[in-house]
Amino acid sequence: MPVAVNTSTVCARHPHPKRLVSFLRPSLHCGISFRTSPGPNPRAIAMAAASQQQEQLVITRPDDWHLHLREGGVLEAVLPHSAKHFGRAIIMPNLKPPVTTTARAVEYREEIMRALPPGSSFVPLMTLYLTDNTSPEEIKLARKSGVVFAVKLYPAGATTNSQDGVTDIFGKCLPVLEEMVRQEMPLLVHGEVTDPHVDTFDREKVFIDRILAPLVRKLPQLKIVMEHITTMDAVNFIESCEEGHVAATVTPQHLLLNRNALFQGGLQPHNYCLPVLKRETHRQAIVSAVTNGSRRYFLGTDSAPHDKRNKECSCGCAGIYSAPVALSLYAKVFEEAGALDKLESFTSFNGPDFYGLPRNTSKIVLRKSAWKVPATYKHSSGEIVPMFTGNTLEWLPSEQSKE
């Protein structure tokens, strides 16, 4: 008696059932017959496409809108990790001494270009370090240079190498900010007060109330990026501003970690950064803001390498080295939020759109392929511990562009 085979099973596994029947035809004399489908099974095709999409993402090459590269041997060691995945990056100016002039920014850019791997198309976008003594003329020079794209505001003493930062933004710095409006030069803000009487975990909120909100009211046409936001208060402020004038970068650590990560299993120096990690409610607010498709937020790793010895000591440096793992971690966040379809806008579109730059044209591939984060990365005089050291991540970025 002939045996009927379920055609939906055949079609689900083999999108071309007629080809399958032809292959099995020699066995038909055994009394087994196959019913062929009149055509491809649409449901099976959709399922196969969805499965393939879940295993691989092809996105426009991202940019990193907040990156620390340092100098010398550290620069040479860490630059390839960013150049491998990102088309461009805003380079932070807090060196020793800081990059306060256009001439020094040009020199620093040349150092970066010399350290790039052969054949790399990575483009560093330079910034100036704002001080109480920065002049409007320097802003004009920066715009004419074609290599300086923003000015960074560090409140004096707020973070690594910020001792030369601003002390009087509404007095000494106001003429510079007015010139920045005329030159359409964005102001990048480390949004924390340094008042010792303000609790560390409240410094971002107080900065918004005391500095940022009044600044936006005083100079509504000044383009401002609130860097590495950490709180629900920052999200609420960004959402309250006019789109296109105030935006924010978001780091992988502030999307994935809360302040418990500093103390679990003992003090964890490699999870210490500034602004410091906050409560879980703040982390959830930032994840929600970033994954809902808003154009106000874009990728900024704040990848900040420090030698292992300077992290694991009695007074460890603030900074998390995330460049090698950042794209894998951002994909993890968007996947867990059910928002992988919005990942590309966050990584590749919102940043250049805000800065008025063209989007990248090359592509990269993110594959669902487990890989283990190395324990350390070596440099000329030591080693750097990356974020999520020793952990296994699920998304693996390709090393080559896919046109």
Which helix or strand (DSSP H or E) is residue 12 part of?
helix 7-13
Residue 31, burial from CB neighbour count under 10 angstroms (0-12, 13-18, 19+): exposed
Catalytic member of 63, 64, 66, 311? 66
pLDDT value of residue 401: 47
Total residues belonging to the chain: 403
Q: Are 325 and 270 in contact (CB under 8 A)?
A: no
Residue 68 appears among annotated catalytic residues = yes
Q: Going along 266-308, which residue ranges are E strands?
A: 297-299
Comparing 1-10, 237-246, 389-398, the range with the smallest average pLDDT is 1-10
**46 vs 319, residue with greater confidence:** 319
Catalytic member of 81, 85, 152, 205? 152
- Mean pLDDT, to the nearest integer, of 192-212? 96
Catalytic member of 84, 205, 223, 228? 228
Q: What is the largest CA-CA distance in the chain?
A: 95
pLDDT value of residue 30: 37
Q: Are 274 and 162 in contact (CB under 8 A)?
A: no
Candidates 66, 63, 64, 78; CA nearest to 302 is 66
Catalytic member of 85, 302, 311, 379? 302
pLDDT in tens, 263-286: 999 999 999 999 999 999 999 999
Take residue 61 and report the two structure tokens written for it: 């090459």
pLDDT in tens, 7-37: 333 333 334 433 333 333 333 333 333 334 4
Catalytic member of 63, 68, 85, 379? 68
Residue 190 appears among annotated catalytic residues = yes
Q: How confident is the model at residue 162 (pLDDT cuts 50, 70, 90)?
A: low
- Mean pLDDT, to the nearest integer, of 218-229? 98
pLDDT value of residue 360: 98
Catalytic member of 190, 223, 270, 278? 190
Residue 66 appears among annotated catalytic residues = yes
End-to-end CA distance of the chain: 55
Q: Give this prediction's pTM.
A: 0.85
Residue 302 appears among annotated catalytic residues = yes
Residue 228 appears among annotated catalytic residues = yes
pLDDT in tens, 236-255: 999 999 999 999 999 999 99
Put residue 146 in one of left, alpha, beta given phi > 0 → left and psi -120 to 50 → alpha: left
